[in-house]
Amino acid sequence: MELKITTLKKSILATSISVLFTSANAYAAADDSHKMHQLYQDNCASCHGSDHGGYLAPALNSETLKGRSPTALRTLIMTGSFETLMPPFFGRLSDNDIRDMVKHLQSTPKLANPAFTIKDMKASLKVYVKDESKLPNKPTFKIDSMDDIIGVAARGKYGRGDGSEAVFINSKTHQQIGVVPTVTAAHIIEFSPANERWAYVKTDTAEIYKVDLYTMQAVRSIKTGWNGPGIGISRDGKYLMAGSFVPHNAVILDAETLEPLKQFELEGIDPDGNMVSSDSGMIIGTPYADIFAIALENAGQVWVVDLKDDFPVTKIKNVGRHLHDAFLTHKGKKLMIASYDDSIVAAIDLEKREIIKKLPAGCVPHVGGGAAVKVDGRTLGFGTNFGTCDKTVVSVWDLDTMELVKQVPVSGGTESPAAHANAPYVAVDIITKDRRARTIQLIDKKSLEVVKTLDVGGHAYFPEYSADGKSLYVSAGYAGDEVVVYDSTSLQKTGSIQMESPAGIFSRGRVKYMTRGLSPDEME
């Protein structure tokens, strides 16, 4: 009897303890999941996507990580991944957090398209300089021409924090003239074609900074989405258009105040007949008209938005499967846009708003900012492509006849070409993930052959010529941590500017020649 009671008591005690434990566990689990979600957003989302769907870096969710060894994932997070932008989190996150993060990633599905509304944008607007009219009316530093300014998107090793900034350089002296810190990695820098003092910096996490180049400071910023680098500026400098990967929308902003004016849901019928919601690809303003062109990556459409009334849209459909980036030609009337999955570059007539032709473009074309040069009366366009394929080539097209001229063999996949009317070579960055990634190759404009390979050190990418064409700038990113400068004819190294993980390089000269390699005279 005694025994029985004791047993009963014990079992009641055990039950209540187990109840206590269960609820404590449930509470801890919910708390953990919330904590891990926040940790993911704060450390991983700017590259891997706020929705776990991938962005600059692979998708991390229960589907993509199915069957992967948790130990291997933990090691990868601790040490980072060589030859990629993935940094080491050892010492930044505790070992327990790293273990919990692996569990979190392997159990979290890709999230539904999270909203980011005009209201969210308005709430994120920050004003750093209240009265812009009181700013000095000329540069506060010595420079011959504002076109000599080159902006570099410095990612910072962790894609956020102290190393993340837009760095501005005088491309004649190769000296840094200003730094504008950004919350996460700077990705794209656009210069106003109408007023030399303004530049716009967009980050991986869709913040846009309006930068006063005369005083080298941000005057305003706004967040336009969760992730997405797309940004363009209208020819009159009055409007910006920004597009996101997460969520699937785009917005037109007043370039002066950064106030959002109209939001667009990006969706449409893809070339295979499916109605899809779409990431925003490139957005471009053109010197030819008051319009923006925007690529709907997944829907395979290019939308032309007129900058009048309620910003009406003309949709050009069936352009290609998975559109990405583009460049302009013929005074901005024609657009050459890369389509990853069909390995073509589509030529679009922005005046007639129709497809002219689809041109072969190597495998997985990524044209970067594009390049076009005039040689012997012909306008030649250069297209890079980064797919893994048997032969790696740079495609050269005659942009007047829209015919393929040549596919120039290069040593690996390429991401971005650079050219200048006054420079003899078209530079392309080799990005194949081995020692070749340290190099850029130079294609002679006339012979259309690779004539030189430069070992830049670090992961060399995003070549850009200075506005005068005399210097070639290249980012030695990843572990290189410097921008290297070469004389564009002798190819001797003439400068080095230190910064953390530099990526895209943008010359202010671009606003004059529209597409790199064309002469400003063509524009008049």
Partner 1 sequence: MKLFTYSLAALLAFSFSVASQAANIYAGESKAAAVCSQCHGIRKTSAEAPFPPLAGRDEAYLESALKQYRDKTRVSEIMNNIAGSLSDRDINNIASYYSRLKP
Instruction: List contacts with partner 1 (CB under 8 A).
Output: 78-80, 82, 87-88, 90-92, 156-158, 160-163, 479-481, 498, 500-501
Which residue number, 81 or 195, has a Cβ lying nearer to partner 1? 81
Nearest by Cα to 340 from 269, 279, 268: 279
Angle among Cα 326, 328, 333 to the nearest 5 degrees reads: 130
Which residue number, 163 or 243, has a Cβ lying nearer to partner 1? 163
**Shortest separation between residue 457's beta carbon and partner 1, angstroms:** 8
Which helix (H) or strand (E) element contains residue 79?
A: helix 70-79
d(CA 516, CA 475): 17
Which residue number, 16 or 498, has a Cβ lying nearer to partner 1? 498
Which residue number, 439 or 466, has a Cβ lying nearer to partner 1? 439
Which residue number, 40 or 198, has a Cβ lying nearer to partner 1? 40
Write out the two tokens for 91: 């010492």
Which residue number, 389 or 479, has a Cβ lying nearer to partner 1? 479
Which residue number, 156 or 228, has a Cβ lying nearer to partner 1? 156
Write out the two tokens for 110: 């890709």
* CB atoms near residue 136 (< 10 Å): 10
* Local structure of 192: helix, strand or coil: coil
**Shortest separation between residue 396's beta carbon and partner 1, angstroms:** 33
d(CA 188, CA 179): 15
**Shortest separation between residue 449's beta carbon and partner 1, angstroms:** 30
**Shortest separation between residue 85's beta carbon and partner 1, angstroms:** 11
378-381 long-range Cβ contacts below 8 angstroms, 24+ apart: 378/405, 379/329, 379/330, 379/518, 380/405, 380/445, 381/327, 381/329, 381/336
95 exposure class (CB count in 10 Å sphere: 0-12, 13-18, 19+): exposed
Handedness of CA 237, 250, 429, 396 (dihedral sign): negative
**Shortest separation between residue 157's beta carbon and partner 1, angstroms:** 3
Which residue number, 64 or 84, has a Cβ lying nearer to partner 1? 84
Nearest by Cα to 64 from 121, 28, 106: 106
345-350 long-range Cβ contacts below 8 angstroms, 24+ apart: 345/383, 345/395, 345/397, 346/319, 346/320, 347/399, 347/402, 348/293, 348/302, 348/316, 348/319, 350/286, 350/288, 350/289, 350/291, 350/293, 350/304
Write out the two tokens for 366: 């990524």
d(CA 344, CA 342): 6
* Local structure of 248: helix, strand or coil: coil
**Shortest separation between residue 48's beta carbon and partner 1, angstroms:** 17
| Main-chain phi, psi angles of 484, to 5 degrees | -105, 140
Which residue number, 165 or 190, has a Cβ lying nearer to partner 1? 165
Which residue number, 90 or 288, has a Cβ lying nearer to partner 1? 90
- Is residue 394 within 8 A of residue 407, CB to CB? The reply is yes
**Shortest separation between residue 23's beta carbon and partner 1, angstroms:** 35
**Shortest separation between residue 492's beta carbon and partner 1, angstroms:** 21
Which residue number, 282 or 497, has a Cβ lying nearer to partner 1? 497
- Is residue 160 within 8 A of residue 154, CB to CB? The reply is no
| Main-chain phi, psi angles of 223, to 5 degrees | -100, 125
Which residue number, 78 or 356, has a Cβ lying nearer to partner 1? 78
* CB atoms near residue 502 (< 10 Å): 30
**Shortest separation between residue 146's beta carbon and partner 1, angstroms:** 29
**Shortest separation between residue 435's beta carbon and partner 1, angstroms:** 9
**Shortest separation between residue 431's beta carbon and partner 1, angstroms:** 17
d(CA 311, CA 50): 29
**Cα distances (Å, whole numbers) of residue 315 to 61, 273, 293, 319:** 33, 15, 10, 10
Which residue number, 92 or 119, has a Cβ lying nearer to partner 1? 92
**Shortest separation between residue 14's beta carbon and partner 1, angstroms:** 39
**Shortest separation between residue 173's beta carbon and partner 1, angstroms:** 21
d(CA 369, CA 336): 11
